[in-house]
Structure 1
Amino acid sequence: MPDGSARLHPRTARLRPRTALAALAAMSLLGGAVLTGCDSGPGETTKGAAAGEARRPAPAPPVWNRSPDSVAAVGDSITRGFDACSVLADCPEASWATGTDREVRSLAVRLLGASGAQAHSWNHARTGARIAELPEQIARAAEEGPALVTVMIGANDACRDSVRAMTPVADFRRSFETSMRALRKKAPKAQVYVSSVPDLKRLWSTGRGNPLGKQIWKLGICKSMLADADDVGPAAVARRAAVRDRVVAYNRVLHEVCAKDARCRDDGGAVFDYRFTGKQLSQWDWFHPGRDGQARLAEIAYRTVTATRPPA
């Protein structure tokens, strides 16, 4: 007989706890949604975002300053303006980097103006210098406290009495890395513009059409490339190709080492690729840039230094 107490069917008894749990879960989700709605109304969401923006640090200024206020130059005869004004003589006033010649409009003049270039630029390059001398030059340049250091070097490492005497690529790399470390030790925030080494073979090809230039070459300028200027036999062709290959290797080193430094830009090979005409070469040796050629180098440097991004 029935005892008056409620009895559940076994199937119903198995389902009810699960149903209850499902109901509790649904209520929890609903409650969570309600709470979320209360905490994140339109006004509160805006305030939270604003507070997050306020806490976010301001973006750091760009590392590269496109308007440096002083320039120090290091390098070789090209930066000294060799043969730009007179035969076998430096002409630093015609230097692409720091010169004051109005026809050239050097990088320093373009960045600082004529009076600024005179007061805030320095030329530590030396005619005949090779990469091994660069650490010393850069150390002297760093003492000026420049905002920008320009580097153009490597031609004399390839311009030797013979192909065998050219500076080995590993030594070239070691000297350039040492130079950059020396700069960072004394002037950690100085920017560096690195010019590629010009294509010496193209300069030979352009200059050998001038009889006077070839006579100057016989005095010993860049023998590895310019000796026997009219010889186009297999040995001479192979010699000139070897010099050009070494210049390409030097430029690769300059690019790779510079790329590791956030405050360094190279020209992306623009100087190497530039096709100097006879008008742009020295009227005495037809190898070094004349005033017009120096102006073209200044243009390339200015374009690189002031660009929003470095060359690809």
Structure 2
Amino acid sequence: MLSDCPEASWSTGMDVDSLARQLLPNPQRRTWNYAKTGAVMADLPAQISAATAKRPELVTVLIGANDACQDTVAQMTPVADFRADFAASLSTLRRALPKTQVYVASVPDLKRLWSEGRKDAVRRQVWKLGICPSMLRDAQSTHERANERRDQVHQRVRDYNQVLREECAKVVLCRYDKAVHDYRFTSDELSKWDWFHPSKEGQQKLAALAYTEITRRDGGA
């Protein structure tokens, strides 16, 4: 059974060269991780509320893939609900901590994950265990209905990313990073347990992308 592994987190982990390790001289005493396996956007308001109690100088957000990864397309989180929960989370954070920076990563490209992984028999077998069924079910099928289903998931991810970009742009000191969606993750950067979540190498890459965006001098978008 998959479980949380905060020590390998791209944001705060100590087993990888995480964002916290790159930014802080003593990260173990000044970082907190409220991410949970399987979390969806509806969980973010509570996570943000818990984080604000620690009064961090930087909050990182990577969420949304699970909103698209449902049993069926119909069960994906509606875009309006996704927006409402994200906007509420940012509002809560900004009211409590007006000077705290926010880094928002884009939702990764799930369709590319399918396109690359479907060529490998081992990955296809693992995905049959129920990994992101809305996108990865019947991975080899090129039937019109299967293609339509994947296109709908792909579009929903694009819609989620648009929400993240738009809502982040309304908030002072918030940076949205489209590079996570654009990055072409390799096999080495995916977990060998589920061929879906990032491996340590993948977490390392996420940390590198975040560091690049956060330290840009132009202030971000």
When normalised by structure 2's length, the TM-score is 0.96
Matched, 1:294 2:217: no
Which of 121, 127, 151 is matched with 1:217 structurally? 127
1:311 Cα offset (Å):
4.3
Letter in 2 for 1:109: R
Which of 183, 188, 191 is matched with 1:274 structurally? 183
Could you tell me which residue of structure 2 aligns to residue 107 of structure 1? 19
Query: What is the correspondence of 1:1-312 to structure 2 with a 5 Å cutoff?
Result: 88-101=2-15, 104-113=16-25, 116-267=26-177, 269-311=178-220
Letter in 1 for 2:137: A
Give unmatched runs, 5+ long, in structure 1: 1-86
Letter in 1 for 2:138: D
SS at match of 2:24: helix
Q: Which has the higher contact order (CA 8 A, sep 6+)?
A: 2
Bigger Rg, structure 1 or 2: 1
1:230 Cα offset (Å):
0.9
User: In 2, are the aligned partners of 1:207 and 1:287 still within 8 Å (CA)?
Assistant: no
1:89 Cα offset (Å):
2.8
Stretches (4+) displaced over 3 A: none
Give unmatched runs, 5+ long, in structure 2: none
User: In 1, are the aligned partners of 2:79 and 2:160 still within 8 Å (CA)?
Assistant: yes
1:285 Cα offset (Å):
1.5
- In 2: Cα distance, 1:135 partner to 1:89 partner: 22
Could you tell me which residue of structure 2 aligns to residue 8 of structure 1? none
- In 1: Cα distance, 2:121 partner to 2:108 partner: 22
Q: Percent identity?
A: 57
SS at match of 1:123: coil
1:164 Cα offset (Å):
0.8
User: In 2, are the aligned partners of 1:158 and 1:166 still within 8 Å (CA)?
Assistant: yes
- In 1: Cα distance, 2:220 partner to 2:33 partner: 25
The structure-2 alpha-carbon separation of the partners of 1:240 and 1:180, relative to structure 1 and needing over 3 Å to count, comes to same
- In 2: Cα distance, 1:120 partner to 1:207 partner: 38
- In 1: Cα distance, 2:174 partner to 2:157 partner: 20
User: In 2, are the aligned partners of 1:212 and 1:285 still within 8 Å (CA)?
Assistant: no
